[in-house]
Amino acid sequence: MSSVERVVLGISGGVDSAVAAALLKDAGYDVHALFMRNWDEDEDGYCTAAADLQDARKVCDELGIPLHTVNFAAEYRARVFAHFLAELRAGRTPNPDVACNREIKFGVCFEHAQRLGATWFATGHYARSAVVDGQPRLLRAADRGKDQTYFLHTVPGELLVRTLFPIGHLAKTEVRRIAHDRALPVHDKRDSTGICFIGERPFAEFLAQYLPAQPGPIEATDGRVLGRHRGLMYYTPGQRQGLTLGGVRGAAEAPWYVAAKDLERNVLVVTQQHDDPRLMTREFGTEAANWIAGSAPAREFTCTVKTRYRQPDQACTVTVGDDGCCRVRTEAPQRAVTPGQSAVFYDGEACLGGAVIGGIGPATAP
């Protein structure tokens, strides 16, 4: 390892990127930190960018590394937020964190790091990268509970091999311990949650600024009208919270779940069966996939898949079409596989890649 190699680290003002900066400095790199502002500061107090920048500055001062700041708000709105709104209008459930990694952190931010003279780019993600037999590989983090490869599956492999993940081999508890032992200013800062541009504000309140609400009926699966929904964009298959149905005359005292969204009629269909047939599937299609190695392992292969971040791996068979789209058949029925979310494929420790979920088949698919 050469001490003259420059690393530009994406710093967020949180504990993970702070410890990443400290470890890179200890390893002898010429470390520069880059703070990205991806959302214009608002006036209602929900945006934390100003406070996060101050925390990043304190960390850099403590470690004695230069801090650069850049505003990617325009790129974020054009490349991530516009797509987010379009997907919601189409009745799908998008994942803007996946798009942000592809378009912003490993897009315009990576390019900016190169202009700053970076030999390497680095982030505080919980993930690992490697080159095996000349092929780039994205590997799960040592801390499976914090692993973030799900959100990195669209990053091109040629960029991953030029990226360092300094905390990918550490447990979160160890990261906290290092931050405390080094007396880093953010050692006790709580982790951020939720979508970055929404922050802690109410989702419906935020979204109403950009998409007009279209209330409509809530129907049971037998066609009975049970109430009114606020707008289909606020709901996703399998959702239990936020239906505001309360007790329904003639119905059991059991929770209600979103079973389907009928866009043509603007109807939200609900059920009291947790595993309603409308929510279960063993087969679904995807859009064209991104493969970390540059191509799929084969036209048809077996692996495991996650259709949401916290889901345990599910055994499946993947068939790749001529257009790059995939057909995924799972061994066991899956609940609430959601169009617009990501199906991410794994072979043991390696994240193979993934794709946006499209059409959903029945639970009885072979």
270 CB contacts (<8 Å, ≥6 apart)?
A: 218, 219, 220, 221, 226, 243, 245, 256, 257, 258, 259
Question: 19 and 167 in contact (C-beta within 8 Å)?
Answer: yes
Q: Is the dihedral of CA 123, 129, 134, 135 positive or negative?
A: negative
How far is the C-alpha of 223 from the C-alpha of 232, rounded, in Å?
Answer: 17
d(CA 134, CA 140): 19
Query: How far from 305 is each of 84, 285, 337, CA to CA, in Å?
Result: 23, 13, 11
- For 205, the token pair is 């309140």
Q: Which residues are catalytic?
A: 100, 196
| 56 closest CA partner among 28, 26, 15, 96 | 15
Q: How far apart are CA 27 and CA 19, in angstroms?
A: 12
First-to-last CA distance in the chain? 52
Q: CA 351, 356, 357, 359: dihedral to nearest 10 degrees? A: -140
One DSSP character per residue, 37-64 reads E-S---SSS---HHHHHHHHHHHHHHHT
Cβ-Cβ contacts under 8 Å for 281 (sequence gap 6 or more): 330, 333, 334, 337, 360, 361, 362, 363, 365
Tokens of 327: 């057909």
Kindly give the residue spans of alpha helices, DSSP state H, lying in the chain: 15-26, 49-63, 73-76, 82-89, 96-100, 109-115, 149-152, 157-160, 172-181, 203-207
Distance of CA 318 to the CA centre of its chain: 22
